[in-house]
Amino acid sequence: MFTPEMRASVKNVEATRESRMGAELRRMTAEEKEALLGQYHPDYKKDSFETLRVGPNKGDKAPAELVALLQGSSRIFREDVDLTRIDYDVDVLVIGGGGAGASAAIEADENGANVLVATKLRLGDANTMMAEGGIQCADKANDSPAIHYLDALGGGHYANKPELLKRLVLEGPGAVKWLNELGVMFDKEADGTMITTHGGGTSRKRMHAAADYSGAEIMRVLRDEVLNRDITVVDFTAAVELILDVDGRAAGAVLANMETGEYLVARAKTVIIATGGAGRLHYQGFPTSNHYGATADGLVLGYRAGARLLYADTLQYHPTGVAYPAQIFGALVTEKVRSLGAMLVNADGEAFMHPLETRDVSAASIIRECSTNGKGVATPEGSGVWLDTPMIELLHGAGAIEKRIPGMMRMYAKYDIDIRRWPILVYPTLHYQNGGLEIDANGRTPVENLFVAGEAVGGIHGRNRLMGNSLLDIIVFGRGAGKYASRQSKGIRTGELTLEHIHRFEKERRDAGVEDAVSSPLLLPTYTHRKA
């Protein structure tokens, strides 16, 4: 439960609750948002970014932790991997077993390809599993893909790649229908109407959900479908380098058994990188809501093979990570809590912002409240602001929390905090990598036969992603990559396999004077003996 200081602050929250109930808070103007972001959003903290000295994005900025890995030393540089001994020989190799990888595998299989999924943990161990709030698509009468486009473009600071965003919004309803027909249990009214809510920055209620297990429900259905199709899945096996053929086309990957260390060669006609995000790199020392395996491996592999990064310098800090208790510090408190009406309130009980600003703006606003404004609540890990969860049942009736956000209720109940009675303490947590490898609308990179899907892609969301557009993008672009990679695999005759590009990269690195390179990709974070 709470400390005495926290309890005292809760009194302030309770004292203002009734007066806040009916209040519609003002949204910030475009100018106010810009000023706030520039001063408080972590993306604008210049000294935590470094300039790449090697590779296709030489001269561009990226977080220091990512730069170290991108310019790192190959894990197999000194290993003698025999590329003529082929362990797996397939049409389509999917690297990563999350929502994008599973969608890609299903569609590639549907289109007649022989598919291999390699994943460093288990199939379904991914950020998808942890997406709580929902998935956007413009399927209601008062909504349209054009409105969805505008919301995402404005939220993304007009930096979204138009061809990608167009595809996202136009294929959105089809993606949700596909999931529904696979058996995903979306929240519906008795007549079948999808129950939808707002997310930060949406102008229509288009957030479709499965309680607050949206991503978990989607992921377990996709996983089941992959298994039903007898697609080969090799788990606890990480891709540590891409393999090219002598013509410079993607032609497979060197895999490493995570437990035995054995190297395996997978030859493929097309390769899809679906390795997800990078929260476990803990940029700027932030905690993360991400999966244990979110270490940017795919970015490293693709970059070394010649694929370009787009917006590698923009990250998403989810405004409401757990600030207390310490055991779940940084875990996600779904945005759906705010969609359902809970306000963000400071230590004095003041609602300091509209609860449904976009994520970057909300995160910056909370950081300002806890720093310059001095109105944060002290916690063992730093500070936080209140998210006034008891408002939800006052607005939607008793039982609403258990029905709509059971996962949140359970997570806090384990630490004796009943979120129906007590507000909770939140602070921004590293949540999503807005940037990633650049693709065209069909998921292709400039490296022939190399595709990317999911969080490893950059450009769909511009410089800030809206809630619910990530679950959507993994399905839309995962399926797309699966389809195109499958089609393209037909008729390809892979040439002799080579790892020459790794040696070239290694030389370039040394020529650029990058010393003491770390071994990369990272594969897993190290938390032993309290090293974080």
Partner 1 sequence: MEDMVNVFLQGKKYVVPASLTIMGAMEYAGYQLVRGCGCRSGFCGACATIYRIKGDRELKVCLACQTKVEDEMYVATLPFFPLVKERYDMEEIRPTDQIMMRLYPEIYSCIGCNSCTKGCPQELDVMQYIACAQRGEYAECAEKSFDCVMCGICSSRCPAGISHPQVALLARRLTGKYLAPEAAHLKSRVAGIENGDFTGLVESLTQKPIEEVKELYNHRDIEE
Q: Between residues 166 and 487, which has the closer beta carbon with respect to partner 1?
A: 166
Which is catalytic among the residues 17, 148, 198, 318? Answer: 318
- Measure the N-to-C terminal CA separation of the chain; round to a whole number of Å: 26
Q: Between residues 34 and 496, which has the closer beta carbon with respect to partner 1?
A: 34
Q: Between residues 39 and 142, which has the closer beta carbon with respect to partner 1?
A: 142
- Per CB under 8 A, 182 contacts partner 1: yes
Q: Between residues 52 and 152, which has the closer beta carbon with respect to partner 1?
A: 152
Ordered DSSP codes for 178-217: HHHHHT----B-TTSPBPEE--TT-SS--EE-STT-HHHH
CA separation for the pair 108, 101 (Å, rounded):
10
Amino acid letter, residue 408: M
Site for partner 1 in 259-318 (CB under 8 A): 259, 289, 291-292
Site for partner 1 in 409-448 (CB under 8 A): 410-411, 414
Q: Alpha helices, DSSP H only, in 111-250?
A: 127-130, 145-155, 162-170, 172-182, 214-228
Q: Do residues 456 and 271 make contact, with C-beta atoms less than 8 angstroms apart?
A: no
Instruction: Say which residues have a Cβ less than 8 Å from residue 471's Cβ, sequence separation at least 6.
Output: 99, 128, 131, 134, 135, 214, 215, 218
- C-alpha triplet 91, 94, 96: angle, nearest 5°: 165
Q: Residue from 25, 64, 170, 441 that binds partner 1 (CB under 8 A)?
A: 170
Q: How many helices (H) and strands (E) does the chain have?
A: 17, 23
Q: Between residues 112 and 374, which has the closer beta carbon with respect to partner 1?
A: 112
Task: Kindly state the number of chain residues that form the binding site for partner 1, as judged by CB under 8 A.
Answer: 86
Minimum gap (Å) between residue 305 Cβ and partner 1: 26
Q: Which two tokens stand for residue 410?
A: 């359970």
- Residue 425 phi, psi (nearest 5): -95, 130
Minimum gap (Å) between residue 418 Cβ and partner 1: 15
Q: Between residues 1 and 326, which has the closer beta carbon with respect to partner 1?
A: 326
Site for partner 1 in 229-258 (CB under 8 A): 230, 236, 258
Q: Between residues 3 and 372, which has the closer beta carbon with respect to partner 1?
A: 3
How buried is residue 151: exposed, middle or buried, by Cβ count under 10 Å (0-12/13-18/19+)?
buried
Minimum gap (Å) between residue 166 Cβ and partner 1: 5
* Interaction pattern, residues 132-151, with partner 1; x per rule: CB under 8 A: -----xxxxxx-xxxx-xxx
Site for partner 1 in 381-410 (CB under 8 A): 406-407, 410
- Per CB under 8 A, 107 contacts partner 1: no
Minimum gap (Å) between residue 374 Cβ and partner 1: 27
Site for partner 1 in 188-227 (CB under 8 A): 188, 190-194, 198, 203-205, 210-211, 213, 215-217, 220-221, 224-225, 227
Q: Residue from 53, 166, 282, 420 that binds partner 1 (CB under 8 A)?
A: 166
3-state secondary structure of 515: coil
Amino acid letter, residue 325: P
DSSP bridge pairs for 458: 438
Minimum gap (Å) between residue 450 Cβ and partner 1: 26
Active site residue 396: no
Length of the chain: 532
Rounded to the nearest 10 degrees, the angle between the axes of helix 469-489 and helix 99-110 is: 40
Nearest-CA neighbor of 426 among 346, 322, 345, 338?
A: 322
Q: Alpha helices, DSSP H only, in 297-453?
A: 297-305, 336-339, 359-370, 390-396, 400-404, 406-413
- Per CB under 8 A, 526 contacts partner 1: yes
Minimum gap (Å) between residue 496 Cβ and partner 1: 34
Site for partner 1 in 326-355 (CB under 8 A): 326-328, 331-332
Minimum gap (Å) between residue 402 Cβ and partner 1: 11
In this structure, what is the dihedral angle of CA atoms 493, 495, 496, 498, given to the nearest 10 degrees?
-120
* Interaction pattern, residues 443-482, with partner 1; x per rule: CB under 8 A: ----------------------------------------
Active site residue 338: yes
| Segment interacting with partner 1, rule: CB under 8 A, options 171-179, 388-396, 486-494, 510-518 | 171-179
Minimum gap (Å) between residue 197 Cβ and partner 1: 10
CA separation for the pair 465, 476 (Å, rounded):
15
- Per CB under 8 A, 22 contacts partner 1: no
Q: Residue from 181, 398, 513, 515 that binds partner 1 (CB under 8 A)?
A: 181
Q: How many CB atoms lie within 10 A of CB 413?
A: 12
Nearest-CA neighbor of 461 among 316, 357, 343?
A: 316
What amino acid positions are annotated as catalytic residues? 318, 338
